[in-house]
Amino acid sequence: EPEVTQTPSHQVTQMGQEVILRCVPISNHLYFYWYRQILGQKVEFLVSFYNNEISEKSEIFDDQFSVERPDGSNFTLKIRSTKLEDSAMYFCASSELGRGRTGELFFGEGSRLTVL
């Protein structure tokens, strides 16, 4: 069964360092997303991406965050200067359908980011 894969599974970094989280969405999907989950809290939307540009982002997704699809398979989330409050599980998701249509989101297993 096709799945969304994420790397690394866990990353520990020092405050102020740059972090890149990587995702390989399901191959025929066209819409890509990042969500995050702070430990013990709910899953929160960060950003959606379609046709090589951001289609929607939340207030959490400030200038420290960026997303990119550098090639035909990878989708990355970059945090330029990490803060303690960025510590969370980051989930990548993809869907075949997007705007205005009910497309199931398939989530990866997540990348746990710990900022010290």
Partner 1 sequence: QQQVKQSPQSLIVQKGGISIINCAYENTAFDYFPWYQQFPGKGPALLIAIRPDVSEKKEGRFTISFNKSAKQFSLHIMDSQPGDSATYFCAARFSGGYNKLIFGAGTRLAVHP
Give me the residues that bind partner 1 (CB under 8 A), please: 4, 31, 33, 35, 41-45, 48, 50, 55-56, 58, 91, 93, 95, 98-100, 102-110
Closest approach, Cβ 80 to partner 1, in A, equals 23
CA 21/CA 7 separation, integer angstroms: 6
Query: Judged by CB, which is closer to partner 1: 41, or 73?
Result: 41
Residue found under tokens 């929160």: 44
Nearer to partner 1, 14 or 28 (CB): 28
User: Least CB distance from residue 63 to partner 1, whole Å?
Assistant: 20
Report the distance separating Cα 116 and Cα 59, nearest Å.
24
- Cβ proximity to partner 1: between 20 and 44 the closer is 44
Please say whether the beta carbons of 5 and 106 come within 8 A.
no
Instruction: Considering only the C-alpha atoms of the chain, give the largest distance between any 2 of them, rounded to a whole number of Å.
Output: 40
